[in-house]
Amino acid sequence: MSSSSPTQSSPARYPELRGQVAIITGSARGIGKGIAERLASEGMRIVVNSNEPDAVELTAAELRQQGGDVLAVTADLSRSDEVRRLIQTTVATFGIIDVVVNNAADLRRYNVFDVDEAILDYQLALNIKSPYLCAQYAAEVMRQQGHGNIISISSVAGTRAHWQGLPYDVTKGAIDSMTQAMALELAAFGIRVNAVAPGPIRNSRAFHGNAEDLRPFIERVPLGRIGQPADIAAAIAFLASNEASFITGQVIYVDGGLTAQLTPKNSPI
């Protein structure tokens, strides 16, 4: 059995998002690009970011060809000064920040004994410090506006560990805690803080083979398919919309039912 996926050309559903400004970090490809495409289709003004100049410009050009109002900002967000520059450039260009999507992350995973200090430092900088500072700097702008949305991309690894999942899984657990703590403190300023935790999602770096190649993975997912970036983007658009106005401090799992199961159906314990 399989379940259908939203298409990349989903119609705009949230008219209140039109004209709002959204920063999506790590949005030159993969899940981040899918989020940028969806929010652009809602009429939002989009800030595309990555540390790869060519990929940033290519994605920005594609969105502009589709009618999007796009700012391209190449920045290495493992550096705090670059996080600050991303926020400042956005405000200088658009004047406001309505939505921040913390998506940029280093996805590498290792055995505990293979994690050297350089890998640990880089993931702590990019996966934890960067989204924290991006949220903090953006919130400084949002509280003057009296509204805003901060949405981070977590992972099923934030609640259920991978075998050989370090230090990545640690960083996603931190994102979940950050989401709750920031939601409580920023609620008074009209700023909502949530996270979306993807399961297996097809992109250029993972789960990109044909159906037969992916069968061992598909069989572990209750809904019987690998997710698409559009699945994550749909959750982001909802959380940014007025329909989610009473939702804050939550981690929404978009994982095909993966975290709900103790073991796959063919591997009972």
- Judged on CB neighbours under 10 Å (0-12, 13-18, 19+), 68 is buried
Quote the tokens at residue 250. 């939550």
- For residue 9, give the amino acid letter: S
- Judged on CB neighbours under 10 Å (0-12, 13-18, 19+), 247 is middle
Q: Which of 14, 137, 168, 253 is catalytic?
A: 168
Q: What is the DSSP letter of 129?
A: I
Q: Give 49's strand partners.
A: 73
134 closest CA partner among 183, 90, 83:
83
Distance CA 125, CA 133 (A): 10
- For residue 122, give the amino acid letter: Y
Residue 132 a catalytic site member: no
Other CB atoms within 10 Å distance of the CB of residue 28: 24
Q: Which residues are catalytic?
A: 168
